[in-house]
Chain A
């Protein structure tokens, strides 16, 4: 079973190498990419089964023993996130295949597929990394390919946004490296399981300083207010399908890393008030930002920032209930955020617009897309019976059950954040879907949109559009499935959360049990 552990990142990296060789053959790429993606999903599903049977699985790469070698660990949390991420990554890849096969707007497939597969490998490695340095490398693999994807088919705007994005990510990477060095200087190890034993002996101030440094590092990568400014500025500039991947996975990988590092190396008895305050600020500023903006992608990006606050809230409580809520929220939000951006890509395909004041009449143009938008929009706002409701309910229960006044206050803020999200979504719905096309949308834009629709109705293109639409529909259905299977998912998350709090299983698997 140990062979399964490296597969989720080894497979896509190998696939990326093959894709680079085949970079001039579009059809080969469009077959190879989804094949590798499906392989990753299968490997991750196998890993979930293995973890369900054996508990935490640790593998020492290269045969060096635990604190020194490269450790890969799969536990309940990482297995769950792996399988969800791999599925979303495959779905977005199929969306891109549909775009390419339909001849709609293929953007340098010879660069896209290798970079995308490398990104897949990086994301999977983040979830599997068992030591801090490996985590750093995983982030770099993920981010380096994201820099390439961000500036695919560079326009002036894209290069501007890409530059901000790259420089901010790099700064946080440098801080990560510094935090890593300081941790090694203080404890003599970077292995997470080993760290969890040694940080207890550190002086209180050193411990707090290191914990805060990691909070800043992953706070920048995960767009926690006030370190979020780069995200709504840069994400909307990329191609929509690429923004979908970024929004779904990159920030969530940072939240995962934050959960992993803080619970393993800096465990606490009670909730952490700085994190609670940050969570409340993130929720409020993110959702308010979503209300002010006009461009749909910016609205979604601010929604993303706001909802990172919910996950941070769950972590800040530092108990099983809070972490359960955070894990459920991670799963829900990975799926729903990707879906929102994919739907927005379909909307863009119909009208060529992302600006709310020029959009309109979408419900009349395509009722199908209206339904596809409506379900994830309700889900992200937390309206029952969607997955967002399940995840938010778990968080609210955790907040109210924690017994601290500040947690009650943040729960109130979280409820307010849901209402504000609902308002932002309603705004898109009313302006984009229900009202007639604004008169000031000139004839030219109208003609352009009609021409687009005519082109999409051509038989050759229709296949591609069908694929894109069905992928999005499947993603919407996946979001509903998360709600349908909320029971098993919640119990899995609860055991994952108690593993996080307990830590002995993780330590035992890495330090005593792991063999190559």
Chain B
């Protein structure tokens, strides 16, 4: 029924997509997300079975009709992934403006708590005497 090639393509898209998601650069993450989106859309398309005649009302032909249902779903999914990719790009741009780079930064608070644990001798539950200032959250 379904071609093995497409299944392999889905596998490659997913592998490459997840690999890129692990990167620090936002642009690579966006590309990774786009690849993943294509992979998922292909899965949906594959779920509909083999290609067939156009699924039109009152159309009779020798070939069986293609299943229109997954195609409708793929169209919706494409629109959603498209919109969200645009948003991601806008955010990557904003990140570049605000932080001067498109690298995903470490979480300051997490780093502070880890550092605290390494430096302090007796593990004390109250961080009263914490030397480190809190996160420089400007909010």
**Residue of B at shortest CB range from A157?**
B137
Within 8 A of B (CB), among A137-187: 137, 140, 144, 147-148, 151, 153-164, 166-167, 170-171, 173-175, 177-178, 180-182, 184-185
| Other-chain contact of A174, B36, B69, B87 (Cβ < 8 Å) | B36
Assess the B46–A166 pair: CB atoms within 8 A.
no
Q: Does A29 contact B (CB under 8 A)?
A: no
- Given A151-B91, A170-B33, A177-B77, are A68 and B69 also a contact pair (CB < 8 Å)? yes
- Given A151-B91, A171-B21, are A181 and B40 also a contact pair (CB < 8 Å)? yes
Per-position 1/0 for A232-254, Cβ under 8 A of B: 01001101000000000000000
Q: Does A438 contact B (CB under 8 A)?
A: yes
Assess the B40–A293 pair: CB atoms within 8 A.
no
Total residues of chain A contacting the partner, CB 8 A: 53
- Given A144-B87, A170-B84, A357-B128, are A159 and B98 also a contact pair (CB < 8 Å)? yes
Q: Does B121 contact A (CB under 8 A)?
A: no
- Given A167-B21, A291-B125, are A144 and B110 also a contact pair (CB < 8 Å)? no
**Residue of A at shortest CB range from B128?**
A357
Assess the B109–A177 pair: CB atoms within 8 A.
no
Q: How far is the CB of B24 from chain A (nearest CB, A)?
A: 11
Q: Does B61 contact A (CB under 8 A)?
A: no
| Residue among A160, A162, A173, A177 with most chain B CB within 10 A | A177
Assess the A357–B127 pair: CB atoms within 8 A.
yes
Q: How far is the CB of A228 from chain B (nearest CB, A)?
A: 14
Q: Does B83 contact A (CB under 8 A)?
A: yes
Assess the B70–A181 pair: CB atoms within 8 A.
yes
Assess the B43–A160 pair: CB atoms within 8 A.
no
What's the Cα separation between A245 and B4 when bound, in Å? 45
Q: Which residues of B contact A171 (CB under 8 A)?
A: 21, 33, 36
Q: Which residues of A contact B94 (CB under 8 A)?
A: 151, 154, 159
Per-position 1/0 for B74-98, Cβ under 8 A of A: 0011001001100110011011001
Q: Which residues of B contact A182 (CB under 8 A)?
A: 43, 47
Assess the B91–A166 pair: CB atoms within 8 A.
yes
Assess the B87–A166 pair: CB atoms within 8 A.
yes
Q: Does B122 contact A (CB under 8 A)?
A: no
Q: Does B16 contact A (CB under 8 A)?
A: no
Assess the B91–A174 pair: CB atoms within 8 A.
no
Assess the A177–B40 pair: CB atoms within 8 A.
yes
Q: Does B55 contact A (CB under 8 A)?
A: no
Q: Which residues of B contact A51 (CB under 8 A)?
A: none
Assess the B104–A427 pair: CB atoms within 8 A.
no
- Given A160-B105, A167-B29, A170-B33, are A185 and B46 also a contact pair (CB < 8 Å)? yes
Q: Does A431 contact B (CB under 8 A)?
A: yes
What's the Cα separation between A239 and B139 when bound, in Å? 8
| Other-chain contact of A147, B36, B69, B87, B98 (Cβ < 8 Å) | B87
Assess the B84–A294 pair: CB atoms within 8 A.
no
Within 8 A of B (CB), among A349-376: 355-358
Q: How far is the CB of A298 from chain B (nearest CB, A)?
A: 7
Q: Which residues of B contact A266 (CB under 8 A)?
A: none
What's the Cα separation between A164 and B46 when bound, in Å? 31
Assess the B109–A295 pair: CB atoms within 8 A.
yes
Assess the A184–B47 pair: CB atoms within 8 A.
yes
Q: Does B135 contact A (CB under 8 A)?
A: yes
Assess the A185–B84 pair: CB atoms within 8 A.
no
Q: Which residues of B contact A236 (CB under 8 A)?
A: 109
Q: Does A492 contact B (CB under 8 A)?
A: no
Within 8 A of B (CB), among A276-299: 291-295, 298
Within 8 A of B (CB), among A207-248: 233, 236-237, 239
Assess the A160–B99 pair: CB atoms within 8 A.
yes
Assess the B110–A155 pair: CB atoms within 8 A.
no
What's the Cα separation between A291 and B125 when bound, in Å? 8
Q: Does A408 contact B (CB under 8 A)?
A: no
Assess the A162–B127 pair: CB atoms within 8 A.
no
- Given A167-B29, A357-B127, are A184 and B70 also a contact pair (CB < 8 Å)? yes
Assess the A137–B99 pair: CB atoms within 8 A.
no
- Given A180-B44, A294-B134, are A157 and B139 also a contact pair (CB < 8 Å)? yes
Q: Does B53 contact A (CB under 8 A)?
A: no
Assess the A180–B125 pair: CB atoms within 8 A.
no
Q: Which residues of B contact A174 (CB under 8 A)?
A: 17, 33, 36-37, 39-40
Q: How far is the CB of A144 from chain B (nearest CB, A)?
A: 7
Q: Does A133 contact B (CB under 8 A)?
A: yes
What's the Cα separation between A233 and B17 when bound, in Å? 23
Q: Does B138 contact A (CB under 8 A)?
A: yes
| Residue among A133, A148, A293, A294 with most chain B CB within 10 A | A294
Assess the B130–A177 pair: CB atoms within 8 A.
no
| Residue among B26, B40, B108 with most chain A CB within 10 A | B40
What's the Cα separation between A293 and B41 when bound, in Å? 41
What's the Cα separation between A175 and B40 when bound, in Å? 8
Assess the B134–A358 pair: CB atoms within 8 A.
yes
**What is the interface of chain A, defined by CB distance below 8 A to chain B?**
68, 133, 136-137, 140, 144, 147-148, 151, 153-164, 166-167, 170-171, 173-175, 177-178, 180-182, 184-185, 190, 233, 236-237, 239, 291-295, 298, 355-358, 427, 431, 438
> When A and B form their complex, which 4 residue pairs have the shortest distance between CB atoms, in order from nearest?
A185-B47, A181-B43, A181-B44, A177-B40
Contact sample, A vs B, 8 pairs, CB 8 Å cutoff: A140-B84, A154-B98, A171-B36, A173-B80, A174-B36, A174-B39, A190-B73, A427-B125
**What is the interface of chain B, defined by CB distance below 8 A to chain A?**
17, 21, 26, 29, 33, 36-37, 39-41, 43-44, 46-48, 69-70, 73, 76-77, 80, 83-84, 87-88, 91-92, 94-95, 98-99, 104-105, 107-110, 112-113, 125-128, 130, 134-139
Given A170-B33, A181-B70: 14 more A-B contacts, CB < 8 Å: A133-B76, A144-B83, A155-B138, A157-B136, A160-B99, A163-B26, A163-B29, A167-B88, A170-B88, A180-B44, A181-B43, A190-B73, A292-B113, A357-B130
